[in-house]
Amino acid sequence: MRRSMLGRLAVAACSLSLLTAFAPAAADGADSGAGRSYKKVGYFTQWGVYGRDFQVQDLEANGSAGKLTHINYAFGNVSAEGTCFTGNVPGEADAWADYARPLDAADSVDGVADTSDQPLAGNFNQLKELKAKHPGLKVLISLGGWSWSTHFSDAALTPASRKAFVASCIDLYIKGNLPQDGTRGGAGAAAGVFDGIDLDWEWPGSAGDTDTTYRPEDKRNFTELVKEFRTQLDAYARTQKRGTKYELTAFVPTAPAKIDAGFDVRRIMRDLDFVNLQGYDFHVSGEPRTAQQSALYARGDFSVHGTVEAWKRRGAPAHKLVMGMPFYGQGWTGVTGGGDGLGQPAAGPAPATWAAGYEDYKALKKLAGSGAYQIHRDRRGGHAWLFDGTTLWTYDDPQVLRAKTGYVREHGLGGAMFWSLDADTADGELVTAVDRGLRGR
């Protein structure tokens, strides 16, 4: 099931019209970060429990759970009828992973095996157990993603469709009214699992995956959809215990053309708690030349700094901008032209564990330590890559993440987001690097 950031190669199709400063810009009067509380948002992939065998319990075992403020569960799908749904539909929904799959004691956060008659099992139950151990941790359901944004435009098309769509998502994920699946599910079975909703529509007003509908009026409709989510979430919160608040966030693009086509920045930022900025896939392995995928600074190219500035210029407050960081690399093979390999012709995506041209950090760390690859760094640009003379991988390691977390602090941003938690090492090396960096350590 291809629902990962691999699909976000739409950025590469956009005009490279964004010119960004190569040297760090002034911090616009932002504080140094002392005494601030930063968001640390990690995506947990529904399908990672299979091939990668990455369970929610691994976040407790590797120490990451105590360092996160948010987990975004990827993904929830939108039906052709414009509603949130789940079930066991290959390529469309996986209720088995979500809430039906029993886990044994070794894979359970609380060390107790699931029973056959409990209404909630699977990832949802484990997330609930993780929250019990870490009361400050919030879990959001992320809706859409590259492959599952297909019907967003239809769902957001009219006031009536928006109202019905939002109500269905709140019913399923916030109220926790799950479809019955044998002994699993039922009314309120998942209540308390999710603390809000993350909108990952890729992309309103411009092209996304091949089957994703988009319209010129998506920009207006996305604004109204955000408002409808905010209205209904707040209304439901008022029926809960005093002080309850459900968060609303969004994943948003780097390319100025995509920002302008789909996002009324000033208006949506009023209703969103924060946005997670695309900070990766600036270039992807399907392109004919090697290139950086996540540089902090880059002259005449996409960059993290350019993304931050693009959103700020359009009215987004810095403290609501959360910087996206990749826990994976983009790779090319058949690289010719010599030198350090960057900017050179390539034959195609590099062979990899799960998908050609896409490799988890934990695997790239092993390559870096194998002696076959040389690590190259652009210290001013804030990015790194591996090259063995034929194959190149561009990625973020702890040294790059230290530079990026320093930028977050210096520019008064809201924090860091990373895709995805299952790509980190067994001891949570990258999450630790981000946590320490945001603490100024």
Catalytic residues: 202
Residue 99 DSSP one-character state = I
What is the amino acid identity at position 206? Answer: S
Runs of H (alpha helix) within 24-121: 56-61, 95
Chain-centre distance of CA 237, in angstroms? Answer: 25
Chain-centre distance of CA 213, in angstroms? Answer: 21
146 φ, ψ (degrees, to nearest 5)? -60, -50
87 φ, ψ (degrees, to nearest 5)? 160, -170
- CA–CA dist 83, 371 (Å, integer): 51
What pairs with residue 416 in β-bridges? 40, 323
- Residue 96 near residue 1, CB atoms below 8 Å: no
Tokens of 363: 């695997």
Whose tokens are 């975004």? That residue is 72
- Residue 398 near residue 427, CB atoms below 8 Å: no
Q: Which helix (H) or strand (E) holds 321?
A: strand 321-326
In three-state secondary structure terms, 121 is coil
Q: Judging by beta carbons within 10 Å of its beta carbon (0-12, 13-18, 19+), is residue 286 exposed, middle or buried?
A: middle
- Residue 402 near residue 377, CB atoms below 8 Å: no
- CA–CA dist 90, 269 (Å, integer): 35
Q: Which residues contact 322 (CB under 8 A, 6 or more apart)?
A: 39, 41, 274, 275, 276, 277, 413, 414, 415, 416, 417
Whose tokens are 């930063």? That residue is 38
DSSP string, 393-418: EEE--HHHHHHHHHHHHHTT--EEEE
- CA–CA dist 377, 359 (Å, integer): 19
Chain-centre distance of CA 129, in angstroms? Answer: 22
